[in-house]
Amino acid sequence: MKLSNKKQRNYVSSQSRVGAVLIIVLWIAFGLVSVTLYFGQSMFFEYKGANQSIAGAQAEQANNGALRYFFYTLNNALEEEGDFPSDLIMQTEQIQIGQATVWMLGRSGESVTLTDPHFGVIDECAKININTAPFEVLELLPTITPEFAAAIVDWRDEDDDVTENGAEATMYSLQTLPYECKNAPFETVEELRLVYGATVEMLYGEDTNQNGVLDPNENDGMQTPPLDNQDGTLDFGILEHVTIYSKIPVEEEESEATGSGNDSGDQPGNRSSQQEPGGGVGVPFQVNVSTASAIVLACLPGMDEATAQQIVSYRLANPDPTEGLEWVSEAVDGGDVQQALPYLTDKTQQFTIDLAAIGSNGNGYRRVRYVVDTSGEAPVVLHRRDMQRFGWALGPNLLEQVNTPEQAIR
Ligand SMILES: [Ca+2]
Ligand SMILES: [Ca+2]
Ligand SMILES: [Ca+2]
Ligand SMILES: [Ca+2]
């Protein structure tokens, strides 16, 4: 039977209505699925975010715990006051605190080709004090220019007399954004950035994350910042070798005789410069010869690179704690260290602990640095610095371990 024309038209029109409804339903279903997926995804990220912040909080707490552990070591485990807290008396690597793991980033003092960090405490007394070292010492620091060494002296001295090639108020007033020359001691080493002529390259060198390790980006030329010379060794900047915290250790009898540990007043890092303890008669600063690098030792009066290297090599070959300074003359094998001896000490009272921690499942990386002073009755924190912005500092191998679930640290 054949449908009439009218019936046929009605049939077609009802068919196309059904089709349209079906398309609308499909679109609605598609929309609902998209919304569900979107919420699912955002819940997932929120969950991941919460995980990250929990792990971050764990890592922060672990760093606090490691600082307390360091204080405990200083109070209870040192054989003698002024000893360096070596990794023989304290754990410095992969310390488990709750769900988190902490490392103390140190310096080996021997190698500039390390790709994995050396763990330990950093001795502030192993560095040159920029508040007290004279121009002749400062100008020997690697990467420094004589102009910048002179500008350091002018920045910290209270007068306005320009040291040869240095910079006093006039130079600072000519800057695009003019500022004052401080004419007072440094309060942090980072203050060097304000000194006339400072460059990032001179201050940080290739070690932009300040971990003492040659990280992949620090040995790939200009491929990724920083611009490095790709020579397989880590070329440090000035900041690695300088401090404002070291003080000349005061002999006990002397401290009792003068009635106080320090006598020259209000200059940080310069408080004992007028004293004349044991080995340091009349010198403005001292360096711990048991921990200092060859680079630092070579800056001392009467020293050169070869002699400094002999001292470090001897120290590495005889790792037993060396008492006194007698071994130094033995180390240089007939060489002359008489001029440098007053600048040397075997004691240390100021330390940096550079703590890097991760929380559960390798998440929540946190890094913080503390400078601790033990020259008073009890250890105190002099300075705290958040090192988070310098990025991962535990080297490529630990990073891989953290990122590989089956090898995860926890
Ligand atoms: Ca000045
Ligand atoms: Ca580095
Ligand atoms: Ca690079
Ligand atoms: Ca290099």
Residue 94 CA to ligand 2 centre (angstroms): 19
CB atoms within 10 A of CB 225: 11
- pLDDT given for residue 287 in this prediction: 96
**Where do the structural domains in the chain lie, given as residue ranges?**
75-143+205-407
Residue type, 137: V
Cα distances (Å, whole numbers) of residue 159 to 12, 285, 361:
101, 21, 56
Residue 138 CA to ligand 4 centre (angstroms): 22
Residue 392 CA to ligand 2 centre (angstroms): 9
Residue 206 CA to ligand 3 centre (angstroms): 8
- The two tokens of residue 75 are 């109070």
Q: Read off the pTM.
A: 0.82
Confidence class for position 350, pLDDT limits 50, 70, 90: very high
Residue 73 CA to ligand 3 centre (angstroms): 38
Residue 79 CA to ligand 2 centre (angstroms): 33
Residue 197 CA to ligand 1 centre (angstroms): 15
Q: Which ligand is closest to the CA of 180, given by its number?
A: 1
Residue 148 CA to ligand 1 centre (angstroms): 13
Is residue 270 pLDDT above 90, yes or no? no
Q: Which ligand is closest to the CA of 217, given by its number?
A: 3
Residue 322 CA to ligand 3 centre (angstroms): 39
C-alpha–C-alpha distance, residues 361 and 355, integer Å:
18
C-alpha–C-alpha distance, residues 128 and 269, integer Å:
11
Q: Which ligand is closest to the CA of 117, given by its number?
A: 2
Residue 401 CA to ligand 4 centre (angstroms): 26
**H-run or E-run covering 67:** helix 5-76
Q: What is the pLDDT of residues 132-152, one digit of tens each?
A: 999 999 999 999 999 999 999
Q: Which ligand is closest to the CA of 235, given by its number?
A: 4
Closest residue by Cα to residue 311 from 284, 265, 343: 343
Mean pLDDT over 71-85 rounds to: 90
Q: What is the pLDDT of residues 26-60, one digit of tens each?
A: 999 888 888 888 888 888 778 778 888 999 999 99
Q: What is the pLDDT of residues 301-332, one digit of tens each?
A: 999 999 999 999 999 898 776 678 889 988 98
